[in-house]
Amino acid sequence: MSLENMRDWVGRTRTVEDFAAPFPVLALIATFDEKDPDPKLGDVLPPLWHWLYFLEAAPQSKLGPDGHGERGDFLPPVTLPRRMWAGSRFVFDGKPLRIGQTIRRSSRIKSVEPKAGSSGAMVFVTVEHTVSGPDGPSFVEEHDIVYREAAKPGEKQREPKPAPKDATWSKTIDATPPLLFRFSALTFNGHRIHYDQPYVTGTEGYPGLIVHGPLMGMVQIELARRSNPGKVVRSFEFRALAPVFAGAAFSVHARREADGGVSTWIADRNGGLAQQGRVTFQ
């Protein structure tokens, strides 16, 4: 399909509702190995934990080769085979969501743009989500998806630049296959790059299972907000720079800035910069 035809998808919308049940929150607390109390009805849902809801449930017969639902329904039918989460941006300017509420997500295809990179052709699709509770809109999220060409024979991963070493707070996370499995299960993510070793190495050309981009986004904002108790998150953004592979620990870092904001980043097993982000508070 031509790029011009794919741009016909710009402006398409979809709205879904869900019930913010307590169990997914309890399960993510366990997955992140936190010591939080058991969630109860009425508790505030932390920023980004809405990813436990509004889950895509494509029929098994409608899955593509990568384990995602087939393209061409809501998302445009981009033919490039490799798909990655490139980044997200959030603005929290409404009342927070709470466990036990009926919540709604209204989505719109904001843009479809081709780009050329060192590995070949790419297409970036940006989706805007407005997430609401009973009191109206709670926040707006923009999600960037990148589609890439198939891996070329002998293609090697480019080495990321070194991550900063001046963090105010840091945490190490062991990227085990069970961690990836649990996060995939909680977000109903069928993408085979997170659990299918023969597929990710043989078809997509990566050296191992890939840690989820949103998982690394979540641990960034978790470190920032837990290190600043009493403050309310106003905005958050993160951008993927390089993949992180399972089988070894990676680290999440946050640095207090002079303007009151917090810079965040992920360092891979070798200290390379894999993601970077920023949190502001109100």
Residue percentage of the chain with pLDDT more than 90: 86
> Which residues are within 8 A (CB) of 268 and not within 5 positions of it... i.e. 6 or more apart?
160, 163, 242, 244, 245, 250, 274
**Residue 99, strand partner residues:** none
Neighbours of 23 (CB within 10 A): 11
Across residues 113-125, what is the average pLDDT? 85
Angle separating helix axes 213-226 and 177-186, nearest 10 degrees: 90
Q: What pLDDT score was predicted for residue 120?
A: 83
- Tens-place pLDDT, residues 187-234: 999 999 999 999 999 999 999 999 999 999 999 999 999 999 999 999
Instruction: Give the CATH number for residue 144.
Output: 3.10.129.10
Q: 255, exposed or middle or buried, with CB in 10 Å at 0-12, 13-18, 19+?
A: middle
Q: Does position 141 have pLDDT exceeding 80, yes or no?
A: yes
Please say whether the beta carbons of 211 and 250 come within 8 A.
yes
pTM of the model: 0.94
Q: Does position 38 have pLDDT exceeding 70, yes or no?
A: yes
Q: Does position 162 have pLDDT exceeding 90, yes or no?
A: yes
Domain membership of residue 19 as a residue range: 3-281
Read off the pLDDT band of 158 (50, 70, 90). confident
Q: What pLDDT score was predicted for residue 2?
A: 67
Q: What pLDDT score was predicted for residue 125?
A: 96
Domain count, the chain: 1
Quickly tell me which residue has 């843009």 as its tokens. 111
